[in-house]
Amino acid sequence: MACTVLTISRTLAAGGEEIGFTAAMEFGFRYADEEIIVRAAETAGVSPQTVAEMEHTPGLVMRIIEAMAHTPPDPEGWTAGYPALIGESRAGYQELIERVIRETAAKGGVVIVAHAASVPLTGMKGLLRSFVTAPRETRIARLVRDAGMAEAEARKATEESDRQRREYLRRFYDVREELPTHYDLVLNTDVVTVPAAAQLLIAAAKSI
């Protein structure tokens, strides 16, 4: 099998994580989601929690980076905890995450879930880019059934997650409209079950 890297972009409650775990177990690959955050945090000299929060609040991230880029480092001030980001350009955070994604993929034998990894890795040899999604109402129903959320809470969570995905793609990669052609395989887990979708992904990877 020539495929050594699988990227899985996914919408909330579509089953992307389960599909990624299944594929990783099938091929004996590493599963990288939180790993991306941890390694970025180590590079930046901050906590993984900080990176996770920053990734989900891109507007705040850009304002912090811009402020830091124009403020002399203060060893005793709050900027001391961000040595790798001091002086970075507006694209500093994107470059940090992208560098970690590329380094992770370069080692091969990995399933990378989320972080829009398919975008910077496009064109890489041995890569299969997939997108796992389902209709919003289906995903809301799953959150109600599987996570025990109230319907209003599940609806709000789904809408906010979808908004964050759109904003992330637009701000960091200038993707104004996400298209099926951005991926090699699109899996809709509305009618096709998540386990069946995982097998489709595995078959596609084996065919490369």
Q: Flag whether pLDDT at 85 surpasses 50.
A: no
pTM to 2 decimal places: 0.80
DSSP secondary structure of 23-79: HHHHHT-EEESHHHHHHHHHHHTS-HHHHHHHHT-HHHHHHHHHHHHTS---TTSGG
The residue ranges of every structural domain in the chain are 1-29+108-208, 39-107
Between 62 and 33, residue with greater pLDDT: 33
Distance CA 100, CA 64 (A): 20
The tokens describing 199, both together, are 């097998």
Q: Which positions ≥6 away from 144 have C-beta within 8 Å? A: 150, 151, 154
Q: Flag whether pLDDT at 134 surpasses 50.
A: yes
Between 51 and 120, residue with greater pLDDT: 120
Distance CA 100, CA 40 (A): 6
Distance CA 187, CA 197 (A): 6
Ramachandran angles phi, psi of 9, nearest 5°: -90, 145
Mean pLDDT of the chain: 83
What would you report as the CA-atom Rg of the chain, rounded to the nearest whole angstrom? 18
Tabulate helix, strand, coil % of the chain (nearest 5).
55, 10, 30
Distance CA 37, CA 32 (A): 9
Query: Which band of pLDDT confidence, cut at 50, 70 and 90, is reported for residue 81?
Result: very low
Q: Flag whether pLDDT at 205 surpasses 80.
A: yes
Q: Please give the CATH superfamily to which domain 1-29+108-208 belongs.
A: P-loop containing nucleotide triphosphate hydrolases (3.40.50.300)
Please write down the long-range contacts of 144-147, taking CB distance under 8 Å and 24 or more positions apart: 146/13, 147/13
Sheet containing strand 185-188, edge to edge, reads: 30-32, 110-113, 5-10, 127-133, 185-188
Maximum mean pLDDT: which of 70-79, 162-171, 195-204? 195-204
* Average pLDDT estimate for 107-129: 96
Among residues 101, 122, 115, 144, which one has the least CA distance to residue 55? 115
Torsion (CA) 134, 139, 140, 145 in degrees, nearest 10: 150
Q: What is the pLDDT of residue 89?
A: 40
Q: What is the pLDDT of residue 56?
A: 60
Query: Residue 110 carries which DSSP code?
Result: E
Query: Residue 193 carries which DSSP code?
Result: -
Q: Flag whether pLDDT at 64 surpasses 60.
A: no
